[in-house]
A and B are shown apart, each in its own frame.
Chain A
Amino acid sequence: MAAALFRFPGNEAGWADNDAGAEGKRQSAVIELIDISKTYHIGDSDVHALDEVNLSIDDGEFLGIVGPSGSGKSTLMNIMGVLDVADCGVYLLDGTSVESYSSGELARIRNRHIGFVFQNFNLIGRMSIEENVELPLIYRGMKAAERRPLVEAALEKVGLLDRRRHTPNNVSGGQQQRAAIARALVTEPSLILADEPTGNLDSHTGAEIVQLLHELNASGRTIVLITHDSTLAAQTGRTVHIRDGKVAEE
């Protein structure tokens, strides 16, 4: 808890960019990482991907995590997205510790609390954009009639309603990333994790995607943007740097 308090001045800077609506949720932290460490064993050498990381992300925040490749930012994202589990430390997601969860429970958490946006979009090629967006709701066990309005709303928000029947291969990269964002937000997650979302896009389209993320943040979504591009990170509400598995506040 001391770690969270320690970060408080940094948070102040973040709030400045946020809309007033987020003010009421100020107290609640969506994510709290306390002394998180992760070590990979490659051959006989140990690689400390994360070394006692402490990080707190509040509801409605737009956080940028910047670091060069190999700095441990992907590992951090995997742990925050509960795709992976830390070796030691405490991870509180929406106030609940996730270490003791089974793989089934972790899948449920990913489904309900986290939306992923990947560098290479990661859409399923033989399914239409609409079906890709629908998929997380299917895994939630929602009925078709309940799914339809949610999918339409998400596609509307990213401006892809007219392309819903296309397969990902038949639309541009920017549109694919929009589809991926629609898939991430259709479940109304506590947190959207974007890992180099502009990495495979030209600068103009990349700027549009960042603009879209800003719009989502303005409507109250908590967003974590992971990038190696510090100019992109500068546009976020708060930026933390990661280097050699250690996190440093800007």
Chain B
Amino acid sequence: MVQQEPDNEKTGHYRNRNDSSAAEARELRERAIKAVWFCTALTAILAIVFIILFLVRDSLPVVRDIGIVPFLTGTDWYPSGDPPVYGIAVLVIGTVLVTLGAMALAVPLSIGCAIYIAELAPLTVKNIVKPAIELLAGIPSVVYGFFGLIVLTDFIRVTFDVPSGETWLAGSILLAIMALPTIISISEDAISMVPSEYKEGSLAIGATRWQTISQVLVPGALSGITAAIILGFGRAIGETMAVMMVTGNAAIIPNPVWNVLSPVRTLTGTLGIEMGEVAVGSDHYAALFGVAVVLLAITLLVNSAAVLILNSIRERQSGRHSRKKRTIMTGKVWDQIRRPALIGEFLLLAVFLFVALPAHAALLITAGIIAGYCLRNLLDAKQAERIAFTLIIAAAAIVLLILAVILQDIIVHGLSAISWEFLTEGPKDLGRAGGIFPAIIGTFCLVTGAILFALPLGVGAAIYLIEYTKEGRITRLIRITVDLLNGTPSIVFGLFGLAFLVYFLNFGVSLLAGQVTLGLMVLPTIIRATEEALRTIPGSLREGSLALGATRWQTIWRVVLPPAVPGIVTGTILSIGRAAGETAPIMFTAVVFSQRYLTASVFEPVMALPYHLFILATNVPGSSTNKYGTALVLLLLVIGIYSVAIYVRSHFAKKMRG
């Protein structure tokens, strides 16, 4: 598609010079081009329809054989029993607990960090911290899981003196780290977007910086922060690999229910651990698809809430109050919910503290916090500010420390494995010896295919949405589906790929199936990035071009697209990074454990770095150098890709401003 476009453009150019005899043909061509973009926009809708269709289709036997009520409310998940029992309530509870725990840890840290970046950090520090946190977002989930399995679970086992470190706590900590970047960057945007007059006004009437932040800026950005938290929540719920590797996967409800040191099993973990093993068409298979449907429903619900809030903010900011005033949260609401929200957060933290620390230490900290809260009115504003700023800076420091610890562990252990042979040879002895060359190439092939699939579709859909239509029912539908697609957990894409591409279309476990699955997964990222880029192009440019007699397509191609390229490139690079690091979507659709030759056709399976790391970390004892090496290569690859994206964005942002 990319290669054809210049031809189109050229012929259009010639015809333009010819006289009006070609006008009709030109009209026809314009319509054809519009139709093409419309079709690409439809793919998003088609994708979500197909995903839901196939998940529901394959889970229907659940209704027939198990019954929907026992399935949803049963607290036993025991597929190998006699008779087998499929009750997912225990899995839903596990998912909710792990996610809540993650939020209890992530919310204070990330809001503190966001305030630091937006308000406190000197510019030079900000220029380091912000990209660093974006890098945190780039670390693949399997690398987090690997780190969790090797370092975190052992740390928890020893520190808390429990028999096994594979616990709810381990899952929550990992998920908290993974949710941090999402919450931080959206909250930071929200805080920065509070009109500066508010801030100046507050400071002018003599409020301290902390008073301004806590009484003006944070309440003003509250909707955005709420949306950030919900989005982080959505990301945490849908996370598979990291959770599956550290929570122990015992299908039990912790006893007592706040026992964070109990193993738990989540919806995603169940899919990850059992999906590859189950016989197709069995009740167990149907039950797993039922699990996927429930998971999808939960994430869609959560993400829709976030989208609703974010949209209302956008409407308010663009000054279109008049159409629909859907203010979700105002300062008044904040005053009402502040106390319960703080107390809730405090209670959650207290539970964590008590289980996590020796009783007297926990008591001391809790008492300290309560005392601080009660005495806060006795402090003068300056002292309060000093304490608050210390806490905020501590939050930012903790986030950076986490990043440093993870990177340090993997780099220090991984470097010794890296050698020319490691990068250019195939694996030997179950991956304990030899290299990872086929996995590197396999990952490249997967990502290339995914981008070739998603880029034309995504850019086309965005062009259609922004350039060809007015806001209407159809664009709203497309936007909603893009949002839905964006919130779909990666493991659900994997299941869809398995049910639709591998079995229904009979691709088999193959490169092609993996490419399409990954392509669908990154499609919403590309659509959104392109949309954003096109939106920033002023309408006057288009009007000028159209007024000079250019057709709509000529305007888009010559005038609108070129300045939008940096935005599109950034979105694409981020997609590449995401696709390269994902394990769950390709685990059932595209990968093999080992192969001798590089894959020769798209109908053959490939090796891939994230999957190779997953297998080495969980299945092959005694492969410690090679698994660290693989983790390092994967990390460097993805972080390298993300750094390029961050660089491209900041470079062009500067250029645009200048």
**A and B co-occur in one complex:** no
